[in-house]
Amino acid sequence: MKKFLAFSLLAVLFLGPFSVFGEKIDELQIQISDKNKQIQELEEEIVRLQNDIDRTEKDADSLKKQISVINATISKLSKDISVARRKIEAAELNLETLGIEISAQKSSIAELGGGLAELIRGLYEAESQSLIEVMLARASISDFFQDVDYMQGLSSKMQKKLLEFKEAKEKLETEKIAEESVKKQLTELNSELQARRNIEQGTKSQKDVLLKTTKNKEAEYQRLLVESQAARAAFETELFELESALRIVIDPSSIPPAKQGILSWPVKNIFITQGYGLTDFARTGAYGYTKGQPNPHRGIDLRASLGTPIFSAFSGVVRGWGNTDAVPNCYSVGKWVLVDHPNGLATVYSHLSQISVSKGQEIKTGEVVGYSGYSGYTKPPGPAGSHLHFSVFAKQGVQILNIRDWYKQNDIAPTTACAKGGAILPVAPPEAHLNPLNYL
């Protein structure tokens, strides 16, 4: 009877509960695979759409072409939303799978524990008898030796099951960690989905505003295009003069020496569309003139189509964010985020379509600060397409300033719409501006 009981217990230990859950897990894995296939197909469509947008955007010098770019962008954003939904669905299926696996693992551990307890009791009872007592209780010597062999085998199997019990506990902990990771991923995906919906709605609104402002007339569009270019150059000149007047002493030891890799790239696919300083584009006077000399490009531009996730270049704390588009006729940085870093640097991410952080929030390297888009002078009919303007400063020297208030405090009359309307953005004296390429 004892042998039969032990055999039954071992059978339970070997088979476990996984056969009960296996069929459901297989079914979920098929669904996850199907979602991933859908995601891949959608992402391939997005690449094709983005290539079309890139080709068209270069020649978007007319209202008709600009509207065509916006329509294609809206189609691409719709695909982005579909991808986000599929990723959420796949993550939910993955979470369900992990839940089943965790339940199965818990059942397995319970059964292993119960079976081991029975085996331990059986071994204890057997070992509580002396060899003489066992021998006298058996009908023959052969029965005695069979019992001895059986108990030795049972002891060996128990050791094996103890190891399996330990491994099952470790696997359970691994699955619990994976479950928490998927839950975090699901939260991030839901945030991304909402952000992409907002971007799509914002782009549709910009199209409506453009058509209304231009009255769907090419001549009016061209007039607005010239005005936006002039407005940008005028404010850049005003801003350069303001920053040159700032008096902030920068301690050189407060910032790290230039070295590659101190900061991470804020975009996944790296393509520099404009460098730092007196670039060829800056020499055309695109950023205005000061004392007859063209103003430099104070940052770098990175290719980032509308809706591209923008990542924090280093861990830190969000000092603030803003939107110069809140000021009518202000063609500047648009939506921006300023992050302070513990190494003495500060970074600014401009021309965002969506901001994903809040003031005072702690952020890690590689976490999303927002999404690139049409804001500032990148919005139609602005003179530049969607991209990320990335700036690096000596943290000690950069401040968030209401431009109108500064002019008022210094008894100077503002001349541009941005300054008159009280645009708020990060400013710093020239010596606090740093070349991002020295740290990336």
DSSP annotation of 387: E
Copy the structure tokens of residue 141. 């010597």
What is the tens place of the pLDDT at every residue in 316-347? Answer: 999 999 999 999 989 899 999 999 999 999 99
Q: How many CB atoms lie within 10 A of CB 399?
A: 18
Query: What is the rounded CA–CA span in Å between residue 255 and residue 253?
Result: 6
Q: Rounded to a whole number, what is the distance in angstroms from the first to the last CA of the chain?
A: 73
Residue 13, pLDDT score: 44
Choosing from 166, 199, 232, the residue where a domain stops is 199
For 360, list phi and psi in degrees, rounded to 5. Answer: 85, -5
**Mean pLDDT (the chain, rounded):** 84
Looking at the structure, tell me whether residues 127 and 13 fall in a common domain. Answer: yes
Whether residue 204 is contained in a domain is answered as no
**Whether 268 and 312 share a structural domain:** yes
Instruction: Tell me, yes or no, whether 188 and 337 share the same domain.
Output: no
Domain interval for residue 194 = 2-199
Same domain for 224 and 83, yes or no, is: no
Look at residues 40, 19, 4 and name the one whose alpha carbon lies nearest to residue 122. Answer: 4
**208 domain-assigned:** no
- Residue tagged 């190494």 (tokens): 343
Note whether 248 and 350 are same-domain residues.
yes
Considering the domain architecture, whether residues 223 and 362 belong to the same structural domain is answered as: yes
CATH of the domain at 121: 1.10.287
∠ CA 65-68-74, rounded to 5°: 145
Same domain, 231 and 307: yes
Shared domain for 246 and 295, answered yes or no, is: yes
Burial of 278 (0-12, 13-18, 19+ CB in 10 A): middle
Compute mean pLDDT per 10 residues along the chain, 440 residues long, and list them.
Answer: 44 48 83 92 90 77 84 91 93 87 77 63 54 49 51 60 70 83 89 91 89 89 86 90 89 93 96 93 89 92 92 98 94 95 98 96 97 78 75 96 94 92 95 96
Four-point Cα dihedral 187, 189, 192, 197, nearest 10: -110
CATH code for the domain of 336: 2.70.70.10
Q: pLDDT digits over 98-145, tens only?
A: 888 888 777 777 776 666 666 666 555 555 554 455 444 555 555 544
Q: Count CB neighbours of 415 within 10 A.
A: 13
**Domain membership flag for residue 288:** yes
Residue 209 within a domain: no
Examine residue 17 and say whether the peptide bond preceding it is cis (omega within 30 degrees of 0).
no
Q: Are residues 167 and 303 in the same domain?
A: no
CB 276 within 8 A of CB 435: yes
Q: Is the pTM of this model over 0.75?
A: yes
| Domain assignment of residue 104, yes or no | yes
